[in-house]
Amino acid sequence: MALLQNALHLVALLVAFYAVAALGRLLARALRMPTVIGEIALSVLLGPVLLAAFGKSVFTAVLPPDITGALKQIGEAGLVLFLVGVVHHLDRGSGGWRGRALGRISLGAFVIPLLTGLAFAAWAVWLAPADVRGTAPTLALVIMLAVSLSVTAVPVLARILEERSDLGRASGLSMMASVLIDTPAWLLLAVALGLSAGGLGGVWLAFATIGAGALIAVAGNRVLGSAPATGFAAGRPRTTALVLALVALGAGTAVHSLGLTAIFGAFVVGVMVPKNEAWSQVVGLVSKVGRVFVPVFFVVAGATLSTSGVTAFPWVGVVLAIVLGIVGKVGGGYAGARWGGEDEVTSLRIGVLVNTRGLTEIVVLQIGFAAGLLTPGLFVALLVMALTTTALTGPALDLITRKVGAAREEVPL
């Protein structure tokens, strides 16, 4: 009977989470913001709002520890499956990653945010209250915070670009630059996790795991790209999707057991799958299932934050993170684009687009929080920064478009 009650409780929560995510999308659409922002914001805030409105007893009754544990596993599994599709899709653009402009945009939109991240880390290490700074190793914390201000949310950016057809060259350049930026960002995150877990030994283990994953991805790509494997995928896409999902989850579990995040397992599998019609259909099925469960990941992140003990809202950290985040990404993207020969309007649009953080940032923050690198205060400050900078993307692009239109109207015929 208890098992049945827990199962019904879990199902009811999943239905409620999906309803909250849908409401968030509707609100974002009404506010002319990217729909994913509303989904993420309401999902993350669900736990804190529930705790503040009804107290700890009701919060614990709705989200008891055993149910929260199951939800955490569901959310992480959904995220892994979803990211397999994201990585596979982004891998298709590799043939176009050439040219002076792209390289300089990527450099500007990564290096300058890293520097602003170091400035934020200096505040956290030397000036922030002890409960905000925490007890994480200094070097690991500095790298973690630098990465947090340098990533771009490729999945969210892709969804924003789907809704915009007025951005010209800025669309393709910002997307390809963001993919290039996230590669060294994830490697630096692996370094931070390695330092946190076991000093230099943890770093070497992290890089050995990444190297082994790269070899597995290359070998697996050749095997799956063979005629028999491709024919099987084309003839039985659902069966193949089930097997691929199990492989992705197994890879995530294996990587996690080595001290890294399961997300690296998703990256390995996403790169491993060949880029052809049959396998794209299979990956689409896997990613679609994962996408259904991604809101659970955000709810669990908010619930975890609610019970982790934020003693005071870190206003200084929030303001500093937002200012440095915008200066680093918008300024870095703009400077890199201008350095690469792009015009002022295109450069501004690129700077605004690479300032989109959303999903990727929250995944990075959750990883850092779970590893003990980020305190609740730092998590809150960076989470607010991620949501704010991403929410500003749409209005900022609209403002640039209006300015361009007004300038054209002022030009005499």
Measured distance CA(31)–CA(125) in Å, rounded: 37
Measured distance CA(388)–CA(70) in Å, rounded: 30
Of 52-56, 75-79, 150-154, 306-310, the poorest mean pLDDT is in 306-310
Q: What is the CA radius of gyration of the chain?
A: 21
pLDDT in tens, 59-98: 888 888 888 888 888 888 888 888 888 777 654 444 444 4
**Which parts of 2-64 fold into alpha helices (H)?**
2-30, 35-62
Measured distance CA(72)–CA(287) in Å, rounded: 18
Measured distance CA(30)–CA(398) in Å, rounded: 15
First to last CA, the chain: 80
Q: Residue 337: pLDDT above 90?
A: yes
Domain ranges of the chain: 2-404
Q: Give the burial string for 232-261 (b: 16+ CB within 10 Å, else e).
A: bbeeebeebbeebbebbbebbebbbeebbb
Q: Residue 243 is encoded by which pair of tokens? A: 């097997």
Q: Residue 46 is encoded by which pair of tokens? A: 């669900």
- Number of other CB atoms surrounding residue 381 within 10 Å: 30
Contact 252, 213 (CB under 8 A): no
Measured distance CA(208)–CA(190) in Å, rounded: 11
CATH of 2-404, one of 1.20.1530.20, 2.60.260.20, 3.90.230.10, 1.10.3720.10: 1.20.1530.20
pTM attached to this predicted model: 0.79
More confident residue, 222 or 154: 222
Residue 232 in 3-state DSSP? helix
Torsion angles phi and psi, residue 379, rounded to 5: -60, -45
Give the DSSP H or E segment for 392: none
Q: Residue 197: pLDDT above 60?
A: yes
220: closest CA among 274, 265, 261, 266? Answer: 274
Q: Residue 15 is encoded by which pair of tokens? A: 């239905």
What local confidence, expressed as pLDDT, does residue 13 receive? 86
Measured distance CA(289)–CA(81) in Å, rounded: 7
How far does CA 36 lie from the centroid of its chain? 12
**218 confidence band (pLDDT: 50, 70, 90):** confident
Measured distance CA(413)–CA(410) in Å, rounded: 9
Give the DSSP H or E segment for 349: helix 344-354
What local confidence, expressed as pLDDT, does residue 201 receive? 60
User: pLDDT exceeding 70 applies to what percent of the chain?
Assistant: 89
pLDDT in tens, 167-189: 778 887 887 788 778 778 877 88
How far does CA 17 lie from the centroid of its chain? 19
Q: Residue 135: pLDDT above 60?
A: yes
Q: Cβ contacts of residue 308 below 8 Å, gap of 6+? A: 369, 376, 379
Measured distance CA(404)–CA(69) in Å, rounded: 51
Q: Which amino acid is at 283?
A: V
Q: Residue 55 is encoded by which pair of tokens? A: 């107290």
**117 confidence band (pLDDT: 50, 70, 90):** very high
What local confidence, expressed as pLDDT, does residue 27 receive? 87
pLDDT in tens, 228-279: 898 998 899 999 999 999 999 998 888 877 766 677 788 788 888 998 888 9
Q: Cβ contacts of residue 173 below 8 Å, gap of 6+? A: 101, 102, 105, 337, 342, 346, 350
What local confidence, expressed as pLDDT, does residue 156 receive? 77
